[in-house]
Amino acid sequence: MAKVLVKGNEAIAQAAINAGCQCYFGYPITPQSEIGEYMGAHLPELGRTFITAESELASINMVIGAGTTGTKAMTSSSSCGIALMQEAISAMCCAEVPGVIVSVMRGGPGLGNIAPAQGDYFQALKGGGNGDYKTVVLSPSTVQEAIDLTYRAFHLALKYRNPVMLLADGILGQMMEPAEFGEYPYDDPDVSTWALDGANNRPARNIVSLHMPEGAMEALTNRIFEKYEKIAQEETTFEGYKLEDAKLVLTAFGTVGRIAKAAVNKAREKGMKVGLFRPVTLFPFPEKQLQETAKNTDMILDLELNKGQMLLDVRSAVFGACPVEFFGRTAGGLLTPDMIMKKIEELYSKLGTKTEAGVN
């Protein structure tokens, strides 16, 4: 299939349709409303379900209903809207209900603004919901990757019976660039062993998130954490760019990753050995891979459009193997390759003089 010029939000919506998404439930919020508009225009004519729900609470709980039947379903929202979904995301992890959530981040906290930001890394990864749980989180940096990761989100949701979040931001949602819609490349698992469709010639089933008997909740959580461990072993992905000889490694996720890549190219032109480590899966975080990278470099510079959220996971992975610096802007402030370049030059000049490694 040939490349087409497509807007990020619409690419995500079309990719969901290609992935076999049967239902979209959503509530409008900038900067992702085009996803709902696209779904509203296309799903009914395909005989699939589109509902503008009364709230984000309703949207995600409709996704739960669809998920309990083993049907591919999706919702999308932004920042404060995703905040309203946290109770349900926790419940989905507990009851092992599949579903896809697209989060197109805007400025926060509070209602914030409608400018692009990455302030919801904690919200996506560390959870605003209750209890021990993990959402699989995928982080696209281009429209093409948004398409590919939307496909992967639907597959992983069914494969692991867990919510999967596509964590994008307002830049990616609103930008147009050429991209190709390949075929949905996955074989999805059989859902008939667990999905609810009526107790026909089999014992009744239930998919619930309340487990009162003593020890039941702990046992269930332990079992689900074994699943998370399997996800970490089998699904972790990242992009490494010019890492082989890098003395300074940039870490960045999402659209900041592509801005950082431009900065790496600028630095290389000036003879500085700079590389990029960009996690594609945020959970599972490429912890071991980043630690190996840290052992072979002099310094890491973490770049984010927030006050330093992935930074905690970067430091945890590096675990003192090299110093970790942070540079970011927040709540709609943007990073440019030139700004990053300035920071690179400042840090690179200090590399040779450093005598001891440590976390600073």
Partner 1 sequence: METLVYKRPESLLKDGHFTFCPGCGHGVILRIIAELIDEYNLQKDTIAISSVGCSIFLEKFFNLDVAGASHGRSPCVATGIKRCKPDKFVFTYQGDGDAATIGFNETIHTACRGEHITTIMINNTNFGMTGGQASSTTLVGQVTTTTPKGRKAELTGYPLHAAEIVAKCEGTAYSARVAITTSKNIRQAKEAIRKAFETQIKGLGYGFVEVLAACPTNWHLTPVESIERIDDIIEKVHPLGVFKDVTALEKA
Kindly list the residues in this chain that would bind partner 1 in the complex (CB under 8 A): 22-23, 25, 49, 51, 53-55, 57-59, 61-69, 71, 73, 87-88, 91, 95, 196-201, 204-210
C-alpha dihedral sign at 241, 137, 197, 40: negative
> Which of 196/220 has CB closer to partner 1?
196
Question: By three-state DSSP, how is residue 58 classified?
Answer: helix
> Which of 63/231 has CB closer to partner 1?
63
> Which of 18/69 has CB closer to partner 1?
69
Question: In the bound complex, what is the minimum distance in angstroms from residue 220's beta carbon to partner 1?
Answer: 13
> Which of 61/139 has CB closer to partner 1?
61
Question: In the bound complex, what is the minimum distance in angstroms from residue 65's beta carbon to partner 1?
Answer: 2
Find out whether 208 and 95 touch, Cβ atoms under 8 Å. Answer: yes
Helices (H), 49-186: 56-68, 79-83, 86-95, 121-122, 143-160, 170-174
> Which of 88/172 has CB closer to partner 1?
88
Tell me how far apart the alpha carbons of residues 281 and 274 are, in angstroms, rounded to a whole number.
22
Find out whether 248 and 274 touch, Cβ atoms under 8 Å. Answer: yes
Question: In the bound complex, what is the minimum distance in angstroms from residue 284's beta carbon to partner 1?
Answer: 26
Fill in the amino acid letter for 13: A
> Which of 88/300 has CB closer to partner 1?
88
> Which of 87/287 has CB closer to partner 1?
87
> Which of 71/141 has CB closer to partner 1?
71
DSSP code per residue over 293-328: HHHTSSEEEEEESSSSSHHHHHHHHHTTSS-EEEEE
Structure tokens at 214: 């003593």
Question: In the bound complex, what is the minimum distance in angstroms from residue 267's beta carbon to partner 1?
Answer: 49
Question: In the bound complex, what is the minimum distance in angstroms from residue 44's beta carbon to partner 1?
Answer: 12
Question: In the bound complex, what is the minimum distance in angstroms from residue 33's beta carbon to partner 1?
Answer: 19
Question: In the bound complex, what is the minimum distance in angstroms from residue 35's beta carbon to partner 1?
Answer: 18
**CB half-sphere exposure, 152, CA atoms < 13 A:** 19
Question: In the bound complex, what is the minimum distance in angstroms from residue 94's beta carbon to partner 1?
Answer: 9
* Phi-psi domain of 52 (left: phi exceeds 0; alpha: psi -120 through 50; beta: other): beta
**CB half-sphere exposure, 138, CA atoms < 13 A:** 26
Q: How many CB atoms lie within 10 A of CB 187?
A: 7
Tell me how far apart the alpha carbons of residues 251 and 298 are, in angstroms, rounded to a whole number.
13
